[in-house]
Copies of this chain bind each other. A is one copy, B any other.
């Protein structure tokens, strides 16, 4: 029925890489010998059973995947890899009306896209607690999604001084903070002009702690730490042994401009930053630092003990803390080893001032003093995830492979090719203090030839890997929209979302719960329409305003039945919202066109859905 496509190396590395690394890049795709055909068929049959979730059955895991520059979060079930829902976060999404009603439009502000990178589930004692999901995006923002209803409840930012918020939204083990770091340094505060040739001196990076309210999840800007104009890349919070610390990788510690693929690759090592965030919190509370752009900014040169630099192979990408908190894993992204730094050794080196120099007054620790081991994982180690019993899994971009190895033993156990050019990888509960193992998802950057052709704009490929045995096995390929940088996988039974908003909890001032209370009121040229949506009609069924009026329509869906959503589409006025059971939403606009404009239910509701319609008439001036 299907044809086997030729497995092709589609690894596309710039010519510059050879200069950059000096390593020879040879094709390392999965070999497929004719002898292995039978074994493959039997493997395929077993894999088919493992990923099949029969109609009516449920997946045991959720995966929350970043949607990259789509601006959204995509939710999958594992092992079926079925896309279950899309959570709109930074981009308007008329499928749910997000970005069209007054409240969400205000939350989005002037930006209608975002570049989501690293979903981070809230934690209690280092375990995912199923309360919230935090996601960052590059325009300096971080959002909180409530897992009670899978809705975006807050977008914080753009946060002052943070430009290119890539090193985010990593939460600390008790969700004290979600962290931020600027990938692109700029003169701060934002809006300051300085020519690019002043980059090394006048441009600044910051790393930032965003405080999370433990009850409500509400985020607020905490403190920022000033840094040299390095490009901060990725981060991870310390846990257990290293709780209270935060780690970020960097590139371009050359402070270069121009063609970075050359200029930012001159030095053999860049850094991993080790930040004592409890010390930063205390310094900020003590009123240290200066206010820049409205935020308390701490200078680590003036306040020693906040920030240390660990030398790391050039241009590291991921930095990942082991479940016990004892090791920080990172490496140059074109090395052939990944490095385990010891938290104990870092502390000893700090105590002994075992420094090799400084960067703008920030101490640089001695590599040999903080390194625990170099693990020969293969070429291009980017990210590491964890399983139980000290198991670790490192993605290898250049090799297009995943290597498994063990903490403490520092030797590779298994290696499996993936297709192709893997970036991040995500293991079940892989960022917690007690990872599950079982499944791992390879988030591959290139998908060519793995799916039906869809033109130049190709989807992203992810592969589900069985890691329940020592020998890893690819189970299935799945595809998604651009671009799942990272994902987290949580046990399904940790989430208990509501499906209906209880009437008692609706405190919206314009909510009406009875058809007799609907109506149109006017104050000058301001018209307010209190509307009810309930199977299978809108009340009122028609209403009229004058051209030029400002109209606010507040719609309450008075259903208290699961899956009983109503949509309100108003033609020619660029309006569509969806109102969930028990919810009230408002839309405000100026009636600047006269004529007759139908409204109708856009979200299927019942056998008489098609009849759920009305007319908005605008009398000419």
Q: Determine the interface band of chain A, counting residues with CB < 8 A from chain B.
A: 35 or more
Assess the B615–A196 pair: CB atoms within 8 A: yes
User: Which of A274-282, A359-367, A402-410, A479-487 lies at the interface with chain B?
Assistant: A479-487
Given A12-B561, A82-B451, A456-B500: A607 and B380 interface contact (C-beta under 8 Å): yes
How many chain copies does the complex carry?
A: 2
Task: List residues of chain B with CB within 8 A of the CB of A495.
Answer: 452-453
Those of A283-317 within 8 Å (CB) of chain B: 315, 317
Assess the B455–A148 pair: CB atoms within 8 A: yes
A142, CB-defined interface residue at 8 Å = no
Partner of A479, one of B82, B194, B398, B458: B82
Task: List residues of chain B with CB within 8 A of the CB of A75.
Answer: 452, 454
Assess the B184–A580 pair: CB atoms within 8 A: no
Taking the nearest CB of chain B, how far is it from the CB of A480, in angstroms?
7
A348, CB-defined interface residue at 8 Å = no
A92, CB-defined interface residue at 8 Å = yes
Task: List residues of chain B with CB within 8 A of the CB of A103.
Answer: none
A235, CB-defined interface residue at 8 Å = no
Assess the B451–A617 pair: CB atoms within 8 A: no
Given A5-B56, A55-B474, A186-B596: A149 and B574 interface contact (C-beta under 8 Å): no
Report Cα–Cα, A380/B150, bound state, in Å.
Answer: 33
Report Cα–Cα, A249/B195, bound state, in Å.
Answer: 65
Task: List residues of chain B with CB within 8 A of the CB of A13.
Answer: 606-608
Report Cα–Cα, A259/B615, bound state, in Å.
Answer: 11
Partner of A571, one of B163, B193, B608: B163
Partner of A52, one of B196, B476, B483, B603: B476
Taking the nearest CB of chain B, how far is it from the CB of A458, in angstroms?
5
Report Cα–Cα, A181/B190, bound state, in Å.
Answer: 52
Given A595-B190, A607-B14: A419 and B497 interface contact (C-beta under 8 Å): no
A457, CB-defined interface residue at 8 Å = yes
A505, CB-defined interface residue at 8 Å = no
Assess the B186–A457 pair: CB atoms within 8 A: no
Taking the nearest CB of chain B, how far is it from the CB of A163, in angstroms?
6
Please give me the residue from chain B that is nearest to A113 by CB atom: B94
Assess the B12–A56 pair: CB atoms within 8 A: no
Report Cα–Cα, A449/B620, bound state, in Å.
Answer: 49
Task: List residues of chain B with CB within 8 A of the CB of A67.
Answer: 95
Assess the A397–B607 pair: CB atoms within 8 A: yes
Report Cα–Cα, A113/B477, bound state, in Å.
Answer: 31
A47, CB-defined interface residue at 8 Å = yes
Taking the nearest CB of chain B, how far is it from the CB of A444, in angstroms?
10
Task: List residues of chain B with CB within 8 A of the CB of A233.
Answer: 610
Assess the B499–A611 pair: CB atoms within 8 A: no
Report Cα–Cα, A94/B480, bound state, in Å.
Answer: 14
Partner of A184, one of B17, B477, B600: B600
Looking at A67, A100, A453, A474, the one whose CB has the most chain B CB atoms below 10 A away is A453
Q: List 13 A-B contacts (CB under 8 A).
A: A7-B56, A10-B563, A13-B608, A14-B607, A70-B94, A75-B452, A92-B113, A193-B596, A203-B596, A251-B610, A258-B541, A456-B580, A458-B565
Smallest CB-CB A-B distances: 5 pairs: A48-B52, A94-B113, A184-B598, A70-B95, A456-B580
